Chains A and B, each alone.
Chain A
Amino acid sequence: MNNSLPRLIDGMVATLRKEVIPHIEGDFARGQAFGVIYMLNSLKLRASWSNEFLIEQLRALEDAARELDGLGAAIPAALVPGKCAPREAPAAAELEAMRDQGDERISALIEWLASNRESVSTVAAAHIEAAIDRYLHRQLKWELSTSAKPMFVEISGGVERSA
């Protein structure tokens, strides 16, 4: 891909909106197309080219650098690519699994507190609850700040809402 992901999504959205949707018959079908636009806008705020895709490109560069490096003094050192493949860069699925494990523990903590209030001091329970609420607040704030503007009027009615 030679374009940035955000620009590609903007282009797809504009094409759907200006070139495709006006020619679609039926409210439901147009609503579905607006649904596609909404999900593309949502993707734009969260997605990037995959780590796996970029790391493979970097590994190829690194291998080429090693090979070129081995050729010795024939090539000026400044022209040989540096070692640039971060072996440790996690895949998105790994990060997602880590987040889910953490959230599972927070969920279990909430349930534990609910069942063991009598055995925990009021002050301790309040501190635990406040810490949990701060965590929840931070996660929700992040989630909402990276969400696209809803398009439910367009999706349900199949008609572009006037600005």
Chain B
Amino acid sequence: MKRAEGERQGTRAASEGGSASTRTFEDPVVLRARLADYLSAQTGATVTVESLVKFPAGFSWITYGVRLAGFAQAQNVILRIGPPYGLFAPYSAMPEFESLSALQSSAVPIPRAFLASDDASLLGAPFFLCERVEGGTPLPWGAQEGASLEGARRDAIARDFIDALASLHEFDWRPTPLARWSDGMTSDNAALRQLEFWQGRFERWALRPHPMAHRAFAWLRRNPPKASRVAIVHGDYRLGNFLERNDRITAILDWELVHLGDPIEDLGWAFLPQYRGGTPLVCGLASEEEFLARYEAGTGTKVDRGALRFYIVFSLLKLALTHMAAARCFEDGLFNDMRMPAMATQIAPVFRQIAKILERV
């Protein structure tokens, strides 16, 4: 297995995933054969792919449910492939793989990570394999609009959701291989490092000048909070990115934006109105007060409300930039998914939300 020195979030490995002719992952028949060859070579056993089903969801990584024979670790696995035309391409599989590997010993419910590679000659793009965990995904924009999360069920899921976040932020990453991600990060520069990263993405994705983005960046640069500590930040912690079964969260998913930083960043993202499922509750699960009280009890750390406001503005800006990425993807003709231009229409509404917060401070 090639474990490329895929850089952290700020500088993803520049694997373009190969030309159209090498996009193995687009042909299910070829993909099955290449995956079986790869797994056989990695394990020394004869591994065959019994079935391969593409999941329709997702804007970024392509996800397959795969049933294997001869793979000792699991029969049902998830194959995630980062296509060269994805929303945040170019991709590296390493952040997700390395973080899931490091967190195996934590209290965070996650799938077991098996293998990963950034070598595009294998399947046509970076990929990783992990355990297939049972469960369903409540979506913030689902037809039910949060109606499916109610009463005791909602309370139970809320407890798991908050506790998992507290466990993630309490996890000591320093004795793990993730220590090499830190690269001089401190409580003082964690916020500014993230701003630099997203400023770079803004410059890459914007199709036209956006003064409001500059306004938000300028405000954020002027008001960076000092982190209480440097922790693993999931980067996309919200309703829609976990599996749930029998009122319990079975796995936290979608770790592609994982990085080291200020843990309050994850709270800022989870608090966004976009993920409230049509309710006033954080991620459709708990009131802001309940969320913060449980999180503070779980981490033993008081959440600085000023830092939380900073990260809500930052999260809104990230969301606007993600919509710019969608516009860029579609404009460049990389693919014709109609969700991309639809997402791009949301840049202005998100900017308006930022402006409203800045008016109040």
A residues at B contact (CB < 8 Å): 27-28, 31-32, 34-36, 38-39, 42, 96, 100, 103-104, 106-107, 110-111, 113-114, 132-133, 135-137, 139-140, 143-144, 147-148, 150-153, 155-157, 159, 161
Contact = CB atoms under 8 A, between A and B. Distances in A.
B342 A39 contact: yes
19 contacts: A32-B338, A38-B342, A39-B338, A42-B345, A103-B209, A106-B211, A110-B215, A110-B218, A132-B215, A133-B358, A133-B359, A139-B212, A140-B352, A140-B355, A147-B345, A150-B346, A153-B143, A156-B142, A161-B143
Interface of B: 56, 139, 141-143, 145, 208-215, 218, 221-222, 337-339, 341-342, 345-346, 348-349, 351-352, 355, 358-359
B139 A156 contact: yes
Given A140-B348, A143-B348, A157-B143, A110 B214 contact: yes
Contact of A144 (B208, B210, B342, B352): B352
A20 to B, nearest CB: 14
A152 B141 contact: yes
Contact of A35 (B210, B222, B338): B338
A132 B222 contact: no
Q: Which 5 A-B pairs have the closest CB atoms?
A: A35-B338, A103-B209, A114-B218, A143-B348, A28-B56
Contacts of A144: 348-349, 352
Contacts of B211: 103, 106-107, 110, 132, 135-136, 139
B209 A36 contact: no
A151 B346 CA distance: 11
A159 B141 CA distance: 12
A32 B56 CA distance: 11
Nearest to B274: A152
